[in-house]
Structure 1
């Protein structure tokens, strides 16, 4: 098996609210949108973020496990500067997201903060000065 990730699929409660947040709020361009079923974005070379209606998700793969808290997953958006982190967090909040941790210096040497999308999925916005962090910048 090749070492790669092609799709990240998240089950969402309200696909229309999700679309409003990502498309109308954050300004992302959908690659695929099937109303009531799925919304997909090309987020990197050969990587797609798929936001799937929870109903359609469960019909195909079974009922998801309820965690009763924060989903045990984070998505990360890396930027080049700490100011960039703060700007993205402000943009996400203006789009209707909830900033759950303001930007701050981290013990690992970078600067990051977190916002939650309409389904509570946590997005880390990070300035990672390390080699791997720099390797993912556009």
Structure 2
């Protein structure tokens, strides 16, 4: 099996609220939008972020458990430390229910977090190393 990730699917409680956050608030352009079912975004070359309505997901994958902070983070890397603060501001203006301030990290970068309407945490990070540069457009 190739080491590859094609889709990241988040099961969301309210697809309309997620649409308002990602499309109307953050300005993301949907690659596929099926109201009441799924919303997909091309987030990288051959990588799609899929927001799947909980009712539709349960039919296919079974019961979904909620509560607390999901034990996963997603990351949006930027090329400049100042952009971390700018993107966190964008998330705050989009209505993110939780936004932490940007912090200079011991590993040499700068990062902060925001949550989407379902509590999925997004890291906004400037990573000055090779691996950080490798994920930038």
TM-score interval, smaller chain: over 0.9
Unaligned runs of at least 5 residues, structure 1? none
Output the CA distance in 2 between the equivalents of 1:4 and 1:37: 25
Q: Runs of 4+ in structure 1 displaced over 6 angstroms?
A: none
Output the CA distance in 1 between the equivalents of 2:98 and 2:83: 15
Unaligned runs of at least 5 residues, structure 2? none
**TM-score when scaled to structure 1?**
0.96
**TM-score when scaled to structure 2?**
0.97
Are the equivalent residues in 2 in contact too, given 1:30–1:39 (CA < 8 A)?
A: yes
Report whether the alignment pairs 1:98 with 2:97.
Answer: yes
Are the equivalent residues in 1 in contact too, given 2:76–2:122 (CA < 8 A)?
A: yes
- Kindly tell me the number of residue pairs found equivalent between the two proteins: 137
1:12-27 residue pairs with structure 2 within 5 A?
12-27=12-27
Report whether the alignment pairs 1:119 with 2:114.
Answer: no
Deviations 1:54-108 (A, max 9, x none): 1111110011233x31001100000011110000000011011134321001122
